[in-house]
Amino acid sequence: MAVASIAHGSAHGDGADQLYVETRELRLQGFLLFLVSDCVLFSSFIFAYLYLRNSGQGWPPPGIKRLDVAFAAWNSVLLFGSGATMHYALENWKHGNFMKYMWMLIFTIILGAGFLGGQAYEYTHLIVAEHVSWWGSGIFGASFFTLTGMHGFHVFVGVCYLTVLLLQSAAGVYTGQKYFGITAGTLYWHFVDVIWVVLFSIFYLI
């Protein structure tokens, strides 16, 4: 049924009813404004961290080892790979390839969950083995756990949202012309990818 919805849509404008057509651009603008507001939120924390970091005598602070770049890079591959699969999921939907879309979406969810699992492992290692914590490691600990934790929360929300998209797609909610939810999910997922590029750079590479 879902395949037929993509290929043929409904009898009225391929599933794109008049209300949807009239509000589609407004929905997109509203969602983009939401992403911009999220950029402002992350930017304020990032610039505060950079300012405090550059005002210190050395980085990382004495008693704190440099973060595991190799592990973080591997975990980043999972997240960036999920960005690629999400892109191809949307493209396959646009071209009516329902099964390829579903598989790409499933891979995106798995890779996103894998990134969260890697982050949980890193947090556990830092707190238990390295004794680096949000509450006891000064500016570094507070900044690292706040920013990466905030990003991890966004990834978790994204995984939940993509899971809902998967279920909705299987139920035939979207058609070849009505798929704003999938577009929004793709934009959101690319957003968390871009934010992670910045966080990976300032915490692990610089």
18, exposed or middle or buried, with CB in 10 Å at 0-12, 13-18, 19+? Answer: exposed
Is the pLDDT at 7 greater than 50? The verdict is no
Is the pLDDT assigned to residue 93 strictly greater than 90? Answer: yes
Percent pLDDT > 90 in the chain is 70
| DSSP-derived secondary structure for 59-100 | SSPTT-PPP-HHHHHHHHHHHHHHHHHHHHHHHHHHTT-HHH
Look at residue 12 and tell me whether its pLDDT is greater than 60.
no
Q: How many CA atoms lie within 13 A of 102 on its CB side?
A: 14
Spatial separation of the C-alpha atoms in residues 180 and 16, rounded to whole Å: 11
Q: How far apart are CA 131 and CA 64, in angstroms?
A: 9
pLDDT of residue 105: 98
The amino acid at residue 36 is V
Looking at per-residue confidence, does 196 or 137 come out higher?
Answer: 196
8 pLDDT exceeds 80?
no
**What DSSP designation does 97 have?**
-
**Which domains occur in the chain, in start order?**
2-7+14-205 (1.20.120.80)
Listing DSSP states for 15-69 in one string gives G--HHHHHHHHHHHHHHHHHHHHHHHHHHHHHHHHHHHHHTSSSSSPTT-PPP-H
End-to-end, the C-alpha distance of the chain in Å comes to 51
Would you state the pLDDT for residue 25? 84
